[in-house]
Amino acid sequence: MRTNQEPLSRRLLWLMAIACALSVANLYYSQPLLADMALTLHVSARASGGIPMLTQMGYALGLFLFVPLGDMKERRFLIVALLFAVALALLGVAAAENLTLLSLMSFLLGATTVVPQLIVPLAVQLAAPDEQGKVVGTVMSGLLFGILLARTVSGLIGQHFGWRAMYVIAAGLMCGLALLLRLGLPESKPAATLSYPQLFRSLRKLFLAEPELREASVMGGLLFGAFSAFWTTLVFFLRQPPYHLGAQGAGLFGLAGVAGAAAAPLAGRLADRKPRTSRRRPQARPESDSARRVAGIAVLITLLAFALFTVAGKEIWGLILGVILLDLGVQSTQISNQARIYRLRPDAKNRLNTVYMVTYFLGGALGSWLGSFAWSAWRWTGVSTAGSTMVLLSLAVWALGLLPKHPAPALEPLRSQDS
């Protein structure tokens, strides 16, 4: 992918981080508002709990359909066009008068909210090779703050103006962001024209050829599933004793997660470190080994968060500390895993990101469904158990990755270079 601005300036990096924050927030506005949506549409908590699941499933489909287009089309135009499409979907959510229409528009909202996953590979392409982990950490920090503050903002607006107002405001933000990125992003044109079939065949080959990509993707999907199970059901938990909190209270817990997310970009810097190699045990990819170690530690932090939810979830200190650890663990794993996969094949960043993020959000959709089901059947104990199980499975995948691997087969190159 050719760009007419080779170095990644600090101003451009922060523009990308802010764009990721504002656009990814669309996926998470619903979580503190689910109880209010259920009351407005006269449906059960379990039925409204399917809204985040459908949004994440739509996002996974959008990643599969639209992110590979970054290898075929001029990316700045693609980003701007998708932002206007997102604005229309947001207005559709705001206008929905029944659960069926709300579900459909939420799915379309997810499918068009893929701008962050077009921006992240562009930032990595513009970064110096020894700063890619740091750049991923910076851009992802914007994305993480968007995820967390979306809940706080939507909770506050929903409490005072109603849940529909949040989506109307968000639509206006997307139109403004589209104009800002049209002026601020560099033009990026593909080096050659590729067909859809070529790109999708390449995705399958990448998944089969790279065991580290498979490991990172499944790890990330399971961990994000646990994350989604917690946040999808938190608003229902907080409405019960001893909390008796509404959408605003649930949204404010996003501020607690900011403390964890603020520390998460450190994972990107740690992932860039090159550990010492010994004569007895040479390392083919020392940077990847560092990132992998950080990811494993982050999974353990996430497991500790769910242990706190289990034993101290009804104590305010336990819930707040658990939220901090949950966001720190999940986001550190995300940053470390993306730093790992971008180093696997420098000419395939878009496709690597597509495989990883599709798996990641399919895991999130599964976690949202499991969380809603567990809440309906067993309340908070069920949610904590479902989340803990997914984290333990993620840890098992990481542990299995310690086993010896056969060398990855060569991947037949396509006729272009990714960015």
Read off the DSSP letter of residue 5. Answer: -
Q: What is the pLDDT of residue 115?
A: 93
Q: What is the pLDDT of residue 3?
A: 47
Cβ contacts of 317 within 8 Å, gap of 6 or more: none
* Cβ contact 221:363 at 8 Å: yes
- 100 is a domain residue: yes
Q: What is the pLDDT of residue 289?
A: 74
Domain residue limits at 209 = 10-273+286-400
* Cα distances (angstroms) measured from residue 277 to each of 229, 284, 288, 343: 40, 9, 13, 18
Q: What is the pLDDT of residue 419?
A: 42
Place 219 in a pLDDT band, splitting at 50, 70 and 90: very high
Across the chain, mean pLDDT equals: 83
Percent of the chain with pLDDT over 90: 42
Identify which of 93, 106, 102 has the alpha carbon closest to the alpha carbon of residue 43: 102
- 411 is a domain residue: no
CATH number of the domain that residue 18 is part of = 1.20.1250.20
Average pLDDT of span 110-121: 90
- 415 is a domain residue: no
- 417 is a domain residue: no
- 405 is a domain residue: no
Q: What is the pLDDT of residue 279?
A: 45
Residue 182 has pLDDT above 80, yes or no: yes
Residue 223 has pLDDT above 80, yes or no: yes
Q: What is the pLDDT of residue 1?
A: 45
Residue 33 has pLDDT above 60, yes or no: yes
- 143 is a domain residue: yes
Q: What is the pLDDT of residue 270?
A: 67
Rounded to whole angstroms, the Cα distance separating 316 from 312 reads 8
Cβ contacts of 71 within 8 Å, gap of 6 or more: 1, 190, 194, 199, 350, 351, 414, 416, 418
pLDDT: which is higher, 43 or 200:
43
- 237 is a domain residue: yes
Total count of domains within the chain: 1
Residue 95 has pLDDT above 90, yes or no: yes
Residue 278 has pLDDT above 50, yes or no: no
How many CA atoms, within 13 angstroms, populate the side-chain half-sphere of residue 303? 14
Residue 4 has pLDDT above 80, yes or no: no
* Cβ contact 25:149 at 8 Å: yes
∠ CA(242), CA(243), CA(249), 5° rounding? 175
Q: What is the pLDDT of residue 417?
A: 43
- Model-level pTM? 0.77
Describe the chain by its helix, strand, coil percentages, rounded to 5: 80, 0, 20
Among the ranges given (148-157, 179-188, 347-356), the one the predictor scored with the smallest mean pLDDT: 347-356
* Cβ contact 86:175 at 8 Å: no
- 278 is a domain residue: no
Identify which of 138, 71, 75, 4 has the alpha carbon closest to the alpha carbon of residue 350: 71
SS (HEC) of 124-164: HHHCCHHHHHHHHHHHHHHHHHHHHHHHHHHHHHHHHHCHH
Identify which of 118, 190, 132, 61 has the alpha carbon closest to the alpha carbon of residue 339: 132
